[in-house]
Amino acid sequence: MSPLPARSRGVIALIEENCTSCMLCARECPSWCIHIDSHTETVPASTEGGRDRTRTVLDRFAIDWSLCMYCSICIEVCPFDALHWSPELAAPEGDIRELTHERDQLEAWLASVPEPQPLDERAEPAKEIAAARRAADRARLGRQA
Amino acid sequence: MSWSDRVDQAYAAALGEASLRDEGFPPLTVEVPADRWVEALAVARDVLGCTFFDWLSAVDEGEGGFAVLCHVVARRTAGVEHLAVRCLLPRSRPVLASAAGVFAGARWHERETHEMFGVDFTDGGALLPMVPLLLPEEFEGHPLRKDFVLASRVAIPWPGAKEPGESEGAPATSRSRRKARPAGVPDPDEWGPR
């Protein structure tokens, strides 16, 4: 089989570490096919007199492929790049109830997610890279001084 | 002469000021008055050589009424030229003369447009009877109208209703904001069986 173009919409891969359970993808999904369950956890204050913080922990992330229309809105809307297209074509299931894939199955597609396309010539570098470079420069200057 | 110039010239000669070229995205679109719909399609076929009828359908423009669109194609040695003809019908009385006299295949599309949008078609002033095409006979309403409520969306819980930190059967500990509602779905307290 000839290789599929890099941006083919095969299946959606999930990077669980990036997901903050913010519900944006589930709310924007026109097909109502994303199911998210999460709970909040209290993180004790790290410094004395500091405030305890709460964070949300993802319990379930599932995509119902029998409803998904491959519109890519969830991937566009995710503020933390937790969702990515993989050109892999999901093997059809024999039963409609098995078309809901849970997060372990969605994470497994990550291996086939292509590298992001290179930036255009003279484009601004990604914010994270620019910030990391500034920090590295500062550290180097500090060592020299 | 370019295709757009030929289209402009043909419609200026046939309909004069009444037709309007849409300067937006392709395909090339000409807006015509609804009462000259059949005449405008005949111009496309006879003057511009658009002998291939592709499709006819409608767009619900909300307050603006219904736009009926017809896409036709002219075959050329180097490829094909596209043309869309459009007219606007008032929401209160969406009635249009049938294009079947120009393109016989239009009847099938008019039946579908009637079912989906509730647009009526006439032949010689008489309303054409429309046999259901895709929907079951007892179906009520026109499913592609924007005000058509999807009953299953009212009945099925919306996956986006949960707040971050909330699970099925385990509500979030702090409920700070108003419950989010899915777009375009009426409140079950206001619509549907009670």
pLDDT in tens, B8-25: 999 999 999 999 999 889
Q: What is the pLDDT of residues A31-66, one digit of tens each?
A: 999 999 999 998 888 888 888 888 899 999 999 999
Contact status, residue A12 vs residue A19, Cβ threshold 8 Å: no
**CA-based nearest distance A68→chain B, Å:** 13
Q: Which residues of B touch A60 (CB under 8 A)?
A: 167
Q: Which residues of A touch B159 (CB under 8 A)?
A: 26, 29, 32-36
Please indicate, yes or no, whether the overall pTM of this predicted structure exceeds 0.80: no
The half-sphere exposure of B51 on its side-chain side, counting CA atoms within 13 A, is: 3
Check if B123 contacts A (Cβ < 8 Å): no
Interval B97-105 mean pLDDT: 96
Q: What angle do CA B107, B110, B116 make, to 5 degrees?
A: 145
Dist CA A12 CA A90 (whole Å):
9
Check if A56 contacts B (Cβ < 8 Å): yes
Show the tokens assigned to B88: 């606007």
Interval A82-92 mean pLDDT: 84
Q: Which residues of B touch A40 (CB under 8 A)?
A: 164-165, 172-173
Check if B163 contacts A (Cβ < 8 Å): yes
The separation between the first and the last C-alpha atoms of chain A, rounded to the nearest angstrom, is 59
**Do A32 and B163 make contact, defined as CB atoms within 8 angstroms?**
no
Q: What angle do CA B164, B167, B168 make, to 5 degrees?
A: 140
Nearest to B162 among A23, A28, A29 (CB): A23
Q: Which residues of A touch B162 (CB under 8 A)?
A: 23, 26, 36-38
Least confident of A8-17, A56-65, B153-162: B153-162
Residue given tokens 């777009």 in the structure block:
B183
Q: What percent of chain A has pLDDT over 90?
A: 54
Query: For the CA atoms of B99, B103, B106, B108, what is the dihedral angle to 10 degrees?
Result: 130
ipTM for the whole predicted complex goes beyond 0.85 = no
Residue B193's pLDDT is 67
CB atoms within 10 A of CB A50: 9
Q: Position B61: which residue type? A: E
How many angstroms separate the Cα of B59 from the Cα of each of B88, B108, B114, B145, B149?
A: 9, 17, 12, 8, 17
